[in-house]
Amino acid sequence: MGYTDQRFDVNLSILFTELPLLERPAAAAAAGFTAVELWWPWIDTATPEQSELDALKKALEDAGTQLVGLNFYAGQLPGPDRGAVSVPGEESDRFKANIDIAADFAAAVGCKALNALYGNRVEGVDPEVQDAHALENLVLAARAADRVGAILLIEALNKPESPLYPLVSAPSAIEVVDKVNEATGLGNAKFLLDIYHLAMNGEDVSQVIAAYADKAGHVQIADMPGRGAPGTGELPLEQLLDELKKAGYDGWIGLEYKAADAAASFEWLPAEARPAR
C-alpha cells in the first residue's frame, strides 16, 4: 500500500505553469509521468479556435501523456471565478457554448472525466434561481459527457479560499451529484473528492471517504496548510489514499498542488510509481 500503490496524474494548470501550455505535457513526461489533467486552459474563451485544440492534442500525444481530467469552461480560473454553471446571463451562455467543445475534445484525446465547477453566488440573484439554472446546465453537461463515454464531476471547494462558492462540504456536492443523476437517469455524475479542500473545510476526511468513496469519480490532493506537495504540511495523505483504496476507489489521484519548482517537488514519489498503469 502507500503512494506506490496509486495511479497519479499531474495537474498542468497548477504545476509547470512557468512554461507555455503546450510545453507542459513534455515537462510532466520528463518528470516520469504519463497522465495529466487540466483546468479549462483558455480562460478568456469558452470557444477556442480548432487550431488551438488541435495544438494541445498534438502536445499531449507528442509527450506520450494521457489526459485523464478536464474542466469545462469555468470563467477566470485561477482568478475570481469558480465556474459558470450557476451564473446566469453571459457566463451561463458561455458554459453552454463550451459543453460540446469540451466533450468533443475529451473524446479526441481519450479523456474520460469532465469537471463542471458550480460557480459563485451572485449578489442580487436568488440562490434558488441559481441552483435551478445549475441543474439545467449540469444535465446538459452530463448528457454530453455520456455521449463521449465520460463522467461528469462535481467538486466541493473550500470556504476560506472560495467564500462565495456554495458547495463547501462533501454532502453539499453529493446532493448535486444525486440531483443530476436523478434528472438524467444516466448515473454518470460523480463526486470529485479533493482531500485538500475537504481538510480546509474542517471535514473529517476519513469519514468522507468511508461515506462517499463509492460516488467518487476522481480524487485530487495537496498538503495542508499551504497547498504544497505531500510532506510539506500535516495531512496524513498516504494513509488517506490507503483508506480510499480499501474503500474500493481505484481511479486517478490528481496532483493539484503548488510548487515553485514542479520537477523537484515530486521527490516524495518514487520514479517507478509515476507512470500511469
- Nearest by Cα to 33 from 258, 252, 196: 252
Please report the DSSP string for 151-219 in residue order: EEEEE---TTT-TT-S--SHHHHHHHHHHHHHHHS---EEEEEEHHHHHHTT--HHHHHHHHGGGEEEE
The answer to whether the beta carbons of residues 212 and 177 sit under 8 Å apart is no
Rounded CA-CA distance 180/135 in Å is: 7
Catalytic pick from 37, 91, 155, 203?
A: 155
238 is catalytic: no
Please list the alpha-helical segments (H only) found in 31-126. Answer: 50-63, 90-109
61 is catalytic: no
Beta bridge partners of 254: 9, 220
- Per DSSP, the three-state class of 67 is strand
Q: What is each CA distance from 81 to 4, 76, 110, 131, in whole angstroms?
A: 35, 5, 28, 17
| Residue matched to cell numbers 510532466 | 28
Catalytic pick from 37, 91, 243, 256?
A: 256
Q: What is each CA distance from 222 to 81, 148, 194, 233, 255, in whole angstroms?
A: 21, 30, 8, 9, 7
* Other beta carbons less than 10 A from residue 33's beta carbon: 25
- DSSP 8-state assignment for residue 255: E
Active site residues: 155, 256
